[in-house]
Amino acid sequence: MPVRTRKLIGAFLLFALVIVWSLLAMAVAQAPFIFENRLISALYYVLAGIGWVLPAMPLISWMSKPSIRR
């Protein structure tokens, strides 16, 4: 698969990942034990804000692989 095609697919997948991740993070943030405690809430938002990077890393490495010519 050409690099340009992989980057296009990867861009759409990253966009979908960020949208789904943020919606799930907002839904989980409404849990009473997170919502009522300021310290837990702050820690949760830090982890949720950085957490999307872990699933995005394999996708970005796949996007940047050179194409194999046959």
- 17 vs 69, residue with greater confidence: 17
Domain of residue 52 covers: 3-64
What is the pTM (predicted TM-score) of this model?
0.78
Residue 69 domain-assigned (yes or no)? no
Average pLDDT, the chain: 90
Residue 70 domain-assigned (yes or no)? no
Distance CA 3, CA 27 (A): 36
The alpha carbon dihedral of 46, 44, 47, 8 has a sign of negative
Domain count, the chain: 1
| pLDDT value, residue 33 | 85
Q: What is the pLDDT of residues 20-54, one digit of tens each?
A: 999 999 999 898 888 888 999 999 999 999 999 99
Residue 56 domain-assigned (yes or no)? yes
| pLDDT value, residue 36 | 87
Distance CA 17, CA 12 (A): 9
First to last CA, the chain: 11
Residue 25 domain-assigned (yes or no)? yes
